[in-house]
Amino acid sequence: MTHEKIIILDFGSQYTQLIARRVRELNIYCEIHPFNKIPSLNEDVKSVILSGSPFSVRDENCPLPNLEDIKGKIPILAVCYGAQFLAKINGGEVLPSKIREYGRANLSYVDDTSPLFYGVSKNSQVWMSHGDTISYLPEGFDIIASTKDVKVAAYKIQDETTYALQFHPEVYHSTDGKQILQNFLVDIAGCEQDWTSSSFVKDTVEELKKKIGTEKVVLGLSGGVDSTVAAVLLHKAIGENLYCIFVDNGLLRKNEFDSVLKQYHGMGLNVKGVDSKNRFYKALSGISDPEEKRKAIGNKFIDVFDDEANQIKDVVWLAQGTIYPDVIESVSTNGGPSATIKSHHNVGGLPDFMKLKIVEPLKTLFKDEVRRIGKSMGIDSELLARHPFPGPGLAIRILGDITVEKVRILQEVDHIFITSLKKNGLYNSVWQAGAIFLPVQSVGVMGDERTYENAVALRAVESTDGMTADWVHLPYEFLSNVSNEIINKVKGINRVVYDISSKPPATIEWE
Ligand code: XMP
């Protein structure tokens, strides 16, 4: 079944994904495509939104898409760079702003006969972020909003449903931004607003049934939100033909393997728990380099998964819990590939030799949408609220080489920290938390005895997508209690520190 959709052409703005989220919050499906790979438009495409950009239209190498098949044919909303681009290529003029315009501004003029501004208040606050200004609008372009400093804050092209905004309606600081987007998408572009959790589940289950038929699918469960929601969707579509594998790599949290496995069985999933702890410990033995650890774990996972999948007769498909941010093709703003900071072994899937067809039922969803869909299918809210946990698990939270004893110690420390966050009602206000085993020993005193033991660091961050993060200002009292409990209860640890670095320049994980 096809669904009406909006295409967002990305010129590399930091806000492009935000536009997509705002559109989807209006229950309208949208996709992001790079400006130089415009998909062919069929009748499902209701409108095209042009994003902002870090480029100036005056830059020599600025994005110059060919909009011949779009402009004047379907409704367009051009935002920031998009607005300047349309003005410039049609004979207008864009010059550097005399005053750089970043931050809040207020609309001093609004054409209240324009359907774009229905319900928008006179003085409405908008968010500006641009270094150029449209100084001259081409013939046939009408100004429909201004601010004190920006005459062309919005325009419309006569005889077309093409609208342009110099400000960012997708940013929360544009107080009527959502209303403006809704006016454009619903009243001007005629969208139905029928893309909801239940319509997504219904359509996806139908599609999966059609695609997979009676063939068998194998899926690796991780205990995380994405693979769990993917499994439940597939289970709804093909039942027992979905074979789930949940591997204990010996690097999970304390008791996690047993408790999550029990939960999966409770959901009726056809899941096999595989205890491979020793295979992983052996593969990791003597390795201290972070990237080598990741590779060793990634390779071992493939070995174990391959062994297990081979035991299922006639399996044809491999399901993965890939989500939208993993697949959006980003527009490079420096012309070159971005540097690999850390290799995430679970991105990129399994090697070709497995020769399985890939099915990725969550590939179009953002993380919060995955959670919402999970909730609508009745998945336990505690599971859906779980913090992200890296594929290589505690291995990248034990600095240096890994031993069974260090894993045990870190599991205990982490358990105390996470349980305390939950007990104190702090878990859900933290995006991710965990403990790190440090390869340093320091002198302490316990009773009358001198100790010389290891230190652990606690890390708790707030973030929206893991790309940037800030440390959480946990209450001193709480930190003090957790520290006491750890030092009193976990043998081998005599010092606890709290990580107060943000990302960038630090990263969330220590390795
Ligand atoms: P960093 O450390 O890069 O982490 O700031 C950002 C987010 O990614 C997670 N992470 C990983 N997840 N495999 C994963 O599945 C990995 O190798 C990996 N490395 C980091 C990290 O937990 C955080 O949520």
pLDDT reported for residue 335: 46
pLDDT tens, position by position, 168-208: 999 999 999 999 999 999 999 999 999 999 999 999 999 99
pLDDT reported for residue 340: 56
Ligand 1: does its nearest atom lie under 6 Å from the Cβ of 322?
A: no
Report whether pLDDT(346) > 50: no
Alpha carbon 217 to its chain centroid, in Å, reads 25
Minimal-distance CA residue to ligand 1 atom 16: 344
Minimal-distance CA residue to ligand 1 atom 11: 390
pLDDT reported for residue 349: 53
Measuring CA to CA, which residue among 487, 399, 480, 495 is closest to residue 438? 399
| Ligand 1, pocket-test mutation among 293, 294, 326, 342, most atoms within 8 A of CB | 342
pLDDT tens, position by position, 24-43: 999 999 999 999 999 999 99
HEC profile of 59-111? CCCCCCCCCCCCCCCCCEEEECHHHHHHHHHCCCEEEEEEEEEEEEEEEEEEC
- Identify the band that residue 331 occupies on the pLDDT scale cut at 50, 70 and 90: confident
pLDDT reported for residue 306: 92
Which whole number is the average pLDDT over 208-213?
98
Rounded distance, CA 37 to CA 65, Å?
A: 9
Task: Locate the ligand 1 atom nearest the alpha carbon of residue 510 and give its number.
Answer: 2
- Identify the band that residue 345 occupies on the pLDDT scale cut at 50, 70 and 90: very low
Rounded distance, CA 155 to CA 142, Å?
A: 5
Which whole number is the average pLDDT over 396-423?
98
β 45-50/76-79 pair status = parallel
Mind telling me the catalytic residues?
A: 80, 168, 170
- Give distance in angstroms: CA of 468 to centre of ligand 1: 12
Cβ-proximal residues to 393 (8 Å cutoff; 6+ apart), any chain: 249, 251, 252, 297
Alpha carbon 307 to its chain centroid, in Å, reads 31
Report whether pLDDT(101) > 90: no
Q: CB-side exposure of 397: number of CA atoms within 13 Å?
A: 27
- Give distance in angstroms: CA of 462 to centre of ligand 1: 14
Q: What is the DSSP letter of 188?
A: I
β 5-10/45-50 pair status = parallel
pLDDT reported for residue 14: 87
Ligand 1: does its nearest atom lie under 6 Å from the Cβ of 507?
A: yes
Report whether pLDDT(418) > 60: yes
Measuring CA to CA, which residue among 418, 181, 198, 220 is closest to residue 309? 220
Which whole number is the average pLDDT over 316-341?
76
Alpha carbon 144 to its chain centroid, in Å, reads 35
Range name among 86-95, 344-353, 433-442, 470-479 with the lowest pLDDT average: 344-353
Task: Locate the ligand 1 atom nearest the alpha carbon of residue 396 and give its number.
Answer: 19
pTM of the model: 0.90
pLDDT reported for residue 336: 46
Range name among 207-216, 452-461, 464-473 with the lowest pLDDT average: 464-473
pLDDT reported for residue 98: 82
pLDDT reported for residue 464: 85
pLDDT reported for residue 218: 97
- Identify the band that residue 347 occupies on the pLDDT scale cut at 50, 70 and 90: very low
Task: Locate the ligand 1 atom nearest the alpha carbon of residue 507 and give its number.
Answer: 5
pLDDT reported for residue 337: 45
Which whole number is the average pLDDT over 369-389?
95
pLDDT reported for residue 483: 98
Alpha carbon 170 to its chain centroid, in Å, reads 17
Are 52 and 168 in contact by the 8 Å Cβ rule? The answer is: yes
Residue 498 tokens read as 């709290």
Q: Which residue has the tokens 């440390």?
A: 471
What is residue 147's three-state secondary structure? strand
Mean pLDDT across the chain, nearest whole number?
Answer: 94
- Give distance in angstroms: CA of 243 to centre of ligand 1: 26
Ligand 1: does its nearest atom lie under 6 Å from the Cβ of 220?
A: no
- Identify the band that residue 167 occupies on the pLDDT scale cut at 50, 70 and 90: very high
Residue 82 tokens read as 């998009």
